[in-house]
Structure 1
Amino acid sequence: MKAASPELIALLAQSQFLMADLYTLTLKSGEVKRYTSADIDITLAGNTFIHDGPLIQRDRTRTVVGIEVDTLQLTINPKTTDLLNGVPFLKACRNGALDGATLLLQKAFMASWGDTAAGAVTLFSGRVSGMMFSRTQAQIEVKSDTELLNIMLPRNTCQPTCLNTLFDAGCGLAKSGWQQTGALQAGSTQGSFNVGLTNFPDGWFALGTILFTTGINAGVMVTIKRHAAGVVTPSIPLISPPSTGDQFTIVPGCDRRQATCGNTYARVFTANASTDQLASAGHTYADGDRVVVSNTGGALPGGLSAGTIYYVVSAVTDAFKVSLTYNGSPVNITSAGSGTHKVRSIGKFDNLARFRGFPYVPIPETAL
């Protein structure tokens, strides 16, 4: 049963009214597009649905009892002036602009064109699940929101990798705090982007994404396969070659391992003020690892601060140095400090409290 306002019920009782489809397309980027099948713009609840956007045809909707996943088929014929994320509609669709997009279909009932006092009825809502393209149109399949119920139970399965998706509500990290912007440097090709950003360790942006914001590839987002020495390799090459100076926004990726979120295990170390080395027998740190230090029963060595993120440099057997920047100069250790010093790896994101993997831990034979 569809909910209707008293004004709409009264209008329907008159048996004379006008109707128009209202489409609200919300992209994953946050951009919202609103279109109508009417011959004039329609304003509903402060939102304007434009009439001169792409021509949209749809199949019939239906209402069923239960939790069956329904689908809606759309055929969209855009004009060259219809844009998504600032890119021509069909090109943006091919580049993945509709990946993860949601669609809300409403039916507006009006006593006269533009009179939306009676409101609208929601006919369908769902997520874009598939697309096919030709030179002039896009055929889009949208699945209803009940598809979200199609998840494995119990939710927390026993697996070593984290169940969260990077930057989702479960992860808790804010994407805006991790993304970087820049411009392509010389030597970039369709399958290799020289992004610079050499102040980040190799692999930092692997499994992440890069979104081009200017140039011929504006609006194109691709997944990063590899990252080394300031160069990222996309999982799929670009269709159009990029140019030096094309601007981008790049976000690191996550392999969902516990070590990427951090480690609860802390190692004891001692500091040598004459060599700036931190000695820790059997440590496994490598240059570029991110660590934090702590102290109990005394004071940290001079030059080190609790809670500060350091990068491991000059790592050798049983000793290493730390720097405030990746591949930077070692911190000048001015004293050995007192009490017990500990160092702990914080991984890439320092988000261990949110890690939702359940690694299998074998029982030692001595416990049997």
Structure 2
Amino acid sequence: MSGLEAHLETGVTTTCRCWALTRRDGVVMGFTDHDRELVFDGIAFRPDTGLSALALQQTTGLSVDNTEALGALSDAAIREADIEAGRYDGADLRAWLVNWQDVAARQLLFRGTIGELRRAGGAFEAELRGLTDALNVPMGRVYQKSCSAVLGDRDCTFDLETPGYVSEREVEEIEGNRVFRFAGMGGFDEGWFRHGVIRVQSGAAAGLVGLIKRDRSEGAGRVIELWHPLRAEVASGDALRIEAGCDKRMVTCQIKFGNLLNFQGFPDIPGDDWTITDPTKSPRLDGRSRRR
């Protein structure tokens, strides 16, 4: 019998709940509904966050365990600006039942991730998703003309540290956390970074990533525009890492990156009209519209 089980058998218990939250940027935070700080596993679980949880629903089979966590927003713990920036999206969370008189007597009750997170009136409400939620993710390979890999991932294998594919510089001018203007970007052709990413390395938006929609020249300068604004304030002088983009075409993989052997698309796959057509004398059946 474990220490916690023996304690519960006594009928007079001194238990509380503790939560450990690990964000994707590596920040670890501890919370408890006890009235004093508890420490175990190298984590300090703080009582001043107002965090609490609703009843945990756990079932057998492959259904998703779920619960919700409620808490107060504060500068000392969970800040509204960090929620807005998406820093808690997909964060890992563990929950224990703990004997606060002997923290070695504890039981892990839940492990999962944060799903939908809502905030209002100085408080937040977070949906917690169990480990079986990952089983809802579609698996398998998509057969399509364009490449299905992400530039630099294990399927693509291209090394972005290769000279000429990354520009590290500071923010010069920015509009709406979306449009970056630079005095010049020598050594990189216009459009080189289109479909690439901007990674913010310092400042309030450190750790955030934006997808590049356009990369164009403007006079002697350069303009890089994101699809969506970054979800935290970016200021002049913040450090950026700008990575080259790939439009997923075979010719781009071959000429721009010299990585054709790892191309993950199927450029010669028949188009939809080829698979459903009746016999015809048409010389081209590749899915494109025909001009008459």
Q: Is the shorter-chain TM-score for this pair beyond 0.5, marking a shared fold? A: yes
* Farther off after superposition, 26-35 or 251-260: 251-260
Q: CA deviation at 1:166?
A: 4.2
Q: Which residue matches 1:302?
A: none
Task: Confirm or deny: 8 A CA contact 2:202 2:239 kept in the other structure.
Answer: yes
Of the three residues 7, 13, 16, the one matched with 1:11 is: 7
Deviation at residue 193 of structure 1 after TM alignment = 0.8
Aligned match for 2:265, one of 357, 360, 363: 357
CA contact (8 A) 1:11 1:111 kept: no
Question: Counterparts in 2 of 1:1-368, with a 5 A limit?
Answer: 6-52=2-48, 54-82=49-77, 89-99=79-89, 101-110=90-99, 112=101, 115-126=102-113, 128-152=114-138, 155-172=140-157, 180-185=167-172, 187-190=173-176, 191-195=178-182, 196-215=184-203, 217=205, 221-229=209-217, 230-237=222-229, 242-260=234-252, 262-263=253-254, 345=255, 347-348=256-257, 350-361=258-269
**What is the root-mean-square deviation in Å for CA atoms of aligned residues?**
3.3
Corresponding residue SS for 1:55: coil
- Structure 1: which 4+ aligned runs deviate by more than 6 Å? 174-178
In structure 1, runs of 5+ residues without a counterpart are 84-88, 264-344
C-alpha distance 238-9 of structure 1, shift in aligned 2 (>3 A): closer
Indicate the residue corresponding to 1:322 in structure 2: none
The amino acid across from 2:134 in the alignment is L
Larger radius of gyration: 1
Q: Distance in 2 between matches of 1:245 and 1:13?
A: 60
Distance in 2 between residues matched to 1:46 and 1:243, nearest whole Å: 35
Identity level (%): 23
| Separation (CA, whole Å) in 1 of partners of 2:203 and 2:251 | 37
Give 1:90 deviation, angstroms: 0.7
Residue type at the aligned position of 1:247: A
- Cα separation, partners in 2 of 1:360 and 1:72, compared to 1, 3 Å: farther
Match of 1:309 in 2: none
Q: Counterpart amino acid of 2:107?
A: A
Give the CA deviation at 1:67: 0.7
Match of 1:330 in 2: none
The unaligned stretches of length 5 or more in structure 2 are 275-282, 284-292
Q: Is the contact made by 1:26 and 1:33 (CA closer than 8 Å) also made in structure 2?
A: yes
SS at match of 1:188: strand
- Residue 57 of structure 2 aligns with an amino acid whose one-letter code is R
Partner AA of 2:92 in structure 1 = L
Q: Secondary structure at the match of 2:51?
A: strand
Count of residues paired in the alignment: 264
Shift of 1:197: 4.1
Q: Which one-letter code corresponds to 1:96 in the other structure?
A: G
Q: CA deviation at 1:165?
A: 3.7
